[in-house]
Amino acid sequence: MSDARLEALPLDECLALLRGHSVGRIAVVVNEFPVVLPVNYRLVETSAPVWVVVRTRPGNVIDRASMPAAFEIDGFDISEQQGWSVLVRGTLQHVNPDTGGLWEHFDPNPWLDDERDAWLAIEPFSITGRMLRSPQPHWAFHLDGYL
């Protein structure tokens, strides 16, 4: 693994990865302690800035969180020892789903449909990504492919 490379992803690749997925982890601070939770999300791109938008139940942990927030998605290929991650850092805000046509951009069928009427958006001040590339893929029948 000594020849592996860690590369920064350009913003357009980070946005493409965010567009192509729908589950990530949101990190917020609640009662002075960090909390990281899996969520369904959508990247909403309007004429204004991009937002990472989540729906949640009113009054739950995410709905009560303070404004600083982070959001992360990633992907791994364990057999090839490579992967990527995208990190969004920004401000968490309550939003009206009718604002900027938000409702039109969001999946109308969330995985849990239990009155998730609180809409929150992370307005990013930073979107960064990294890719770990292995030096060369393992041949399918190489022993390392099975460990």
pLDDT band at 143 (very low <50, low <70, confident <90, very high): low
Domains of the chain: 5-146 (2.30.110.10)
Note whether 53 and 119 are within 8 A (CB).
yes
**Biggest distance spanned by C-alpha atoms of the chain:** 55
CA distance 114 to 102: 20
**78 or 4: which leads in pLDDT:** 78
**104 or 143: which leads in pLDDT:** 104
40's tokens? 């369904």
CA distance 51 to 43: 6
Reported as half-sphere exposure (CB side, CA atoms, 13 A), residue 66 has a value of 8
Give the pLDDT score at 1: 44
Which residue is listed with tokens 């090839």? 80
CA distance 98 to 73: 26
Give the pLDDT score at 63: 84
pLDDT in tens, 29-77: 988 899 999 998 989 887 667 889 988 888 888 888 889 999 999 998 8
- Is the pLDDT at 79 greater than 60? The verdict is yes
- Is the pLDDT at 25 greater than 70? The verdict is yes
Q: How many CB atoms lie within 10 A of CB 33?
A: 7
CA distance 98 to 101: 5
Note whether 15 and 127 are within 8 A (CB).
yes
Q: What is the mean pLDDT of the chain?
A: 82
pLDDT in tens, 110-132: 666 666 678 889 999 999 999 98
